[in-house]
């Protein structure tokens, strides 16, 4: 393991108050979208963050990006806490961590040409490296496999896959170290998904990027990630290398998630036993007591209802939050 | 692939859509005509010849060869005729000349007053929508307080203090009518703030003012433009109303409202004095509203952007 992680998230929590309507706005509840989440990402690594919709994975990504104000915790980027940074310093530091958004239609300004969109971070941070902004834009377009002749066009003239390439180009233009990819492929056709994933891996090798790859799609995450974080209801339930997650998932939730992934081999696929989770993800305003997963857990025990499990290390680098592994 | 033409921008597409509405297109032509009339008034209505040949034997007269203040008591209250197309008033002044000059007041009030309040409205609405929190609270309460006052009477009261003058009217309309625009822009900004491209701009490291003015405002401007068009009509109506009540421009300066006001005494013997300014105000307001509606329709049916 290298010395210092590029990004370190410590006890991050994002709580949204639920307010009643009317004049006085009484707080009637609290959504713990992200609750006590800690993890780190080393330079050059790809970490996958998976979970059902509503589990807080996107909120985690946006809280790291400082797009949402976290309630508590620390977000250390190269050792500096982004949450404590003065506004101006943070704005300047943003060149080092960029984001790729889920919806390639909503993430581009409809009134700006795509060349202007990609050129903006270059102008803001002066990352042209001696070249003119235009030359650098063309270079970045080339990197993501887009024809540089299209730079004067507007976003609505591109397909979803092309738009996502533009989104990636915009993130790359600032020359960042870390890219947080928030479900970058889930809005795309399956055939395009593979292209974008391959593009992202190629770019990682070329530019020595670090990714936090957020997705609900385990199959996509396995393509790209070295380590995987599984979240459930705002909490981390399991962290492990991707081999460990796939060969020996520990948490019953991870096991259920994995059993839902089809295997592209008909013989093996026939023998696949699907472990279907019953019930919906619980209401985060009023989460279950004890282990949040216990109402849906096939292996729940009596004290799962009362005692909240802690994230503990079972093997080297394999962390799980489940009473089954209590020593 | 072979030909890469520059794609139509948003406003070009709006214009294409707008052109399909013939009534609104003609409305725009009429507004252009009004603007030309207002700007060209000193050359349209003057008793001086526009151009004479070298010997002075032939001179080109203005279309309306009278000035708006040129009186001739021998020709008072003449109905429309060959010399005075729209008749004369009680002092024998040419109504057509006065109407042409009056359009300058209407245009100036409309444009300047709306310009002032659109600027105020955009700024306050944008700040409230973007920052939320206490900024939003302050702006929203200020809007509610302003809405509580009936605008017309607020203007009357302020004019009573400041004295009737065309500049005071512009400034007072501008300072009192920004609430609609502010609410509109605030709403648009609340909607835009959570859109990914705005979040992307923030994540990119763009400053607040850059996000507000470069990324969000261009996307919020369309409804503002529609509202401003209606606003011009409303401002013209307010000015006419104030002039009619005698709070507007000083009596010797013609404005559509003041011409209408002076016609009251002679309503039974000089119909043209009432009809001409009344019709001018009516038609202008209607046309501005038609243009505003055309613009709204051109923007509203979610253009493929």
Confidence at A28, pLDDT banded by 50, 70, 90: confident
Q: Do A108 and B197 touch (CB under 8 A)?
A: yes
Closest residue of chain B to A106, computed from CA coordinates: B196
pLDDT digits (tens, 9 = 90+) for A34-52: 989 999 999 999 999 998 8
- Those residues of chain A whose CB sits closer than 8 Å to some CB in chain B are 62, 65, 67, 91-92, 94-95, 98-99, 101-103, 106-112, 120-121, 124-125, 149-150, 152-154, 156-157, 167, 170, 174
Q: In whole angstroms, what is the distance from residue A322 CA to residue A310 CA?
A: 7
- 3-state SS, residue A37: strand
The count of other CB atoms within 10 Å of the CB of residue B102 is 29
Determine the residue of chain A that is closest to B12 in CA distance. Answer: A111
Q: Does pLDDT of A313 surpass 50?
A: yes
What percent of chain A has a predicted confidence (pLDDT) above 70?
97
A19 contacts A28 by C-beta, under 8 angstroms: yes
Average pLDDT value for residue range A52-57: 86
Instruction: Give the best-scoring range by mean pLDDT among A1-5, A308-312, B98-102.
Output: B98-102
Categorize the per-residue pLDDT at A23 as very low, low, confident or very high, splitting at 50, 70 and 90: low
Q: Inter-axis angle of helices B22-39 and B271-299, to 10 degrees?
A: 130
pLDDT at B115: 95
Beta strands in chain A (DSSP E): 7-19, 27-41, 46-50, 72-77, 80-81, 97-100, 178-182, 210-215, 227-232, 235-241, 312-315, 318-320
Average pLDDT over residues A228-249: 90
The average pLDDT across A223-232 equals 91
Residue contact B219–A106, C-beta within 8 A: no
Average pLDDT over residues A206-211: 93
pLDDT of residue B8: 67
- Spatial distance between the Cα atoms of A40 and A55, rounded to a whole number of angstroms: 19
In the prediction, which pLDDT does B247 show? Answer: 81
The pLDDT of residue A187 is above 90: no
SS3 A125: helix
Closest-CA residue of A relative to B199 is: A67
As a whole number of angstroms, the distance between CA B213 and CA A39 comes to 37
Question: Chain B: nearest CA to A262, how far in angstroms?
Answer: 32
Mean pLDDT of A191-216: 92
Q: Assess whether pLDDT exceeds 90 at residue B250.
A: no
pLDDT of residue B2: 42
Nearest chain A Cα distance for residue B134, angstroms:
14
Q: Establish if B200 touches chain A: CB-CB under 8 angstroms.
A: yes
A15-29, A53-67, A94-108, A127-141: least confidently modelled range: A15-29
Contact A67 B305 (CB under 8 A): no
Asked whether the predicted pLDDT for residue B305 surpasses 90, the reply is no
Smallest Cβ–Cβ distance between B203 and the set A65, A125, A153 belongs to: A65
> How much is the average pLDDT of B119-143?
95
Integer Cα distance of A49 and A225 in angstroms: 9
Between CA A219 and CA A261 the distance in angstroms is 7
How confident is the prediction for chain B on average, in pLDDT? Answer: 88
pLDDT of residue B6: 55
Edge-to-edge strand list for the sheet holding A178-182: A97-100, A178-182, A210-215, A46-50, A227-232, A235-241, A318-320, A312-315
A287 or B99, greater pLDDT: B99
Judge whether B198 and B280 are in contact, CB under 8 Å. Answer: no
CB contact under 8 A, A111 and B200: no
Q: Quick one: closest CA in B to A61, which residue?
A: B203
Tell me the residue ranges of DSSP E strands in chain B. Answer: 51-52, 59-60
Question: Does any CB of chain A come closer than 8 Å to the CB of residue B264?
Answer: no
Query: Rounded mean pLDDT of chain A?
Result: 88
Among all residues of chain A, which has the CA nearest to that of B3?
A149
Chain A touched by B131 (CB under 8 Å): no
Nearest chain B alpha carbon to A148: B4
Q: How far is A31 from chain B (nearest CA, A)?
A: 19
The whole-angstrom distance between B20's CA and the closest CA on chain A is: 23
Query: Two tokens at A43?
Result: 């330079």
Distance from CA of B293 to the nearest CA of A (A): 23
- Residue B138 pLDDT: 95
Q: Quick check: helix, strand or coil at residue B120?
A: helix
Hey, are the CB atoms on B4 and A149 less than 8 Å from each other? Answer: yes
Which of B4, B197, B205 lies at the smallest CB-CB distance from A109? Answer: B197
* Pick from A92, A106, A167: CB nearest B205: A92
**Is B219 near chain A, with CB under 8 Å?**
yes
Question: Do the strands A227-232 and A235-241 form a parallel or antiparallel pair, or are they unpaired?
Answer: antiparallel
CA distance A159 to chain B (A): 13
A95–B304: do the CB atoms touch at under 8 Å?
no
0.90 surpassed by complex ipTM: no
User: pLDDT tens-digit profile of B251-304?
Assistant: 778 889 888 888 888 888 889 999 999 999 999 999 999 999 898 888 865 544
User: Residue A142 has what pLDDT?
Assistant: 92
Give the architecture-level CATH label for domain B51-303. Answer: Orthogonal Bundle (1.10)
What is the pLDDT, as a whole number, of residue A163? 93
Among B44, B60, B42, B64, which Cα is nearest to B52's? Answer: B60
Does residue A110 surpass a pLDDT of 90?
no
Q: Which whole number is the average pLDDT over B94-99?
A: 92
Which residues, numbered 20 to 39 in chain B, qualify as contacts with chain A under a Cβ-Cβ cut-off of 8 Å? none
Is any Cβ of chain A less than 8 angstroms from the Cβ of B204?
yes
- pTM higher than 0.90, yes or no? no
pLDDT at B56 over 80: no
For the cut 50, the answer to whether the pLDDT of residue A1 exceeds it is no
pLDDT of residue A3: 64
Q: How far is CA B146 from the centre of its chain?
A: 21
pLDDT at A202: 93
**Could you tell me the pLDDT band of residue B5, with boundaries at 50, 70 and 90?**
low
Contacts of A103 in chain B (CB under 8 A): 196
Find the closest chain B residue to A150 by CA distance: B4
So what's the pLDDT on residue A315? Answer: 84
CB B260, CB B281: distance < 8 Å: yes
The partner residue sitting opposite B6, judged by closest CB among A103, A109, A152, is: A152
Interface test with B, best of A120, A160, A162 (most B CBs within 10 A): A120
To the nearest whole angstrom, how far is the Cα of A2 from the nearest Cα of chain B?
A: 28
Which chain B residues have a beta carbon less than 8 Å from that of A91? Answer: 205-207
Residues 6 or more apart from B102 whose CB is under 8 A from it? B68, B254, B255, B256, B258, B259, B277, B280
**Mean pLDDT on B49-64:** 83
Given a contact cutoff of 8 angstroms between Cβ atoms, the answer to whether A145 and A199 are in contact is yes
Q: Of A20, A107, A78, nearest to A210 (Cα)? A: A78
Looking at residues B65-71, what average pLDDT do you find? 87
Our CA-based measurement puts residue B147 at a distance from the nearest CA of chain A, in whole angstroms, of 19
Chain B residue closest to A94 (CA)? Answer: B205
Q: Where are the domains of chain B?
A: 51-303
pLDDT band at A22 (very low <50, low <70, confident <90, very high): low
The alpha-carbon gap from B285 to the nearest alpha carbon of chain A, in Å, equals 32
- Choice among A258-267, B143-152, B262-271 with the minimum mean pLDDT: A258-267
Give the three-state DSSP class for B76.
Answer: coil
Interface test with A, best of B5, B13, B205, B302 (most A CBs within 10 A): B205
Angstrom CA distances, B76 to A27, B16, B70, B101, B294, stand at: 75, 50, 12, 19, 43
């Amino acid at each position: 393991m290298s010395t210092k992680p590029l990004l370190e998230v410590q006890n991050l929590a994002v709580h949204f108050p639920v307010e009643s309507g009317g004049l006085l706005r009484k707080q009637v509840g609290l959504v713990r979208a992200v609750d006590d989440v800690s993890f780190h990402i080393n330079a050059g690594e790809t970490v996958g963050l998976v979970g059902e919709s509503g589990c807080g994975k996107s909120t985690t990504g946006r809280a790291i990006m400082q797009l949402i104000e976290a309630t508590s915790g620390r977000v250390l980027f190269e050792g500096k806490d982004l949450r404590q940074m003065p506004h101006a310093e943070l704005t300047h530091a943003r060149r080092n961590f960029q984001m790729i958004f889920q919806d390639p239609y909503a993430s581009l300004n409809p009134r700006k040409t795509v060349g202007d969109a990609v050129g903006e971070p270059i102008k803001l941070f002066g990352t042209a490296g001696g070249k003119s902004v235009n030359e650098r834009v063309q270079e970045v377009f080339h990197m993501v496999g887009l024809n540089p002749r299209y730079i004067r066009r507007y976003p609505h003239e591109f397909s979803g896959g092309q738009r996502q390439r533009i989104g990636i180009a915009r993130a790359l233009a600032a020359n960042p170290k870390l890219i947080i990819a928030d479900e970058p492929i889930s809005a795309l056709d399956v055939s395009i998904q593979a292209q974008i994933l391959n593009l992202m891996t190629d770019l990682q090798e070329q530019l020595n990027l670090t990714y936090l790859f957020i997705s609900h799609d385990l199959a996509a995450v396995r393509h790209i990630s070295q380590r995987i974080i599984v979240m459930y209801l705002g909490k981390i339930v399991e962290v492990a290398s991707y081999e460990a997650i796939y060969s020996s998932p520990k948490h019953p939730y991870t096991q259920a998630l994995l059993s839902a992934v089809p295997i592209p081999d008909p013989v093996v696929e026939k023998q696949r036993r699907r472990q279907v989770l019953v019930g919906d993800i619980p209401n985060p305003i009023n989460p279950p007591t004890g282990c949040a997963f216990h109402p849906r857990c096939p292996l729940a025990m009596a004290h799962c209802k009362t005692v909240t499990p802690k994230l503990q290390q079972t093997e080297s680098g394999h962390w799980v939050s489940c009473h089954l592994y209590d020593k | 692939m072979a030909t890469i033409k520059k794609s139509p921008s948003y406003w070009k597409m709006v214009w294409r859509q707008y052109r399909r509405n013939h009534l609104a297109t003609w409305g725009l032509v009429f507004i252009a005509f009004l603007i030309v009339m207002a700007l060209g008034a000193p050359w349209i209505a003057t008793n001086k010849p526009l151009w004479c040949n070298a010997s002075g034997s032939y001179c080109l007269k203005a279309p309306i060869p009278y000035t708006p203040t040129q009186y001739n008591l021998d020709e008072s209250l003449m109905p429309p005729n060959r010399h005075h197309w729209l008749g004369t008033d009680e002092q024998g002044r040419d109504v057509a000349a006065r109407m042409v000059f009056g359009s300058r007041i209407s245009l100036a009030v409309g444009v300047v007053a709306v310009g002032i309040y659109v600027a105020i409205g955009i700024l306050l609405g944008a700040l409230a929508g973007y920052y939320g929190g206490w900024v939003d609270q302050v702006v929203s309460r200020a809007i509610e307080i302003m809405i509580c006052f009936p605008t017309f009477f607020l203007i009357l009261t302020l004019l009573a203090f400041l004295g009737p003058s065309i500049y005071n009217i512009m400034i007072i309309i501008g300072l009192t009518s920004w609430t609609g625009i502010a609410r509109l822009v605030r709403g648009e900004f609340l909607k835009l703030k959570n859109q990914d491209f705005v979040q992307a701009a923030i994540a990119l490291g763009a400053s607040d003012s850059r996000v507000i003015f470069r990324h969000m405002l261009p996307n919020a401007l369309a409804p503002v433009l529609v509202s401003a068009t209606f606003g011009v009509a409303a401002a013209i109506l307010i000015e006419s109303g104030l002039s009619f009540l005698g709070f507007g421009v000083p009596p010797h300066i013609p404005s559509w409202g003041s011409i209408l006001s002076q016609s009251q005494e002679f309503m039974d013997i000089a119909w043209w004095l009432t009809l001409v300014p009344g019709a001018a105000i009516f038609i202008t307001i209607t046309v501005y509203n038609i243009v505003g509606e055309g613009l709204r329709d051109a923007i509203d049916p979610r253009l493929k952007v």
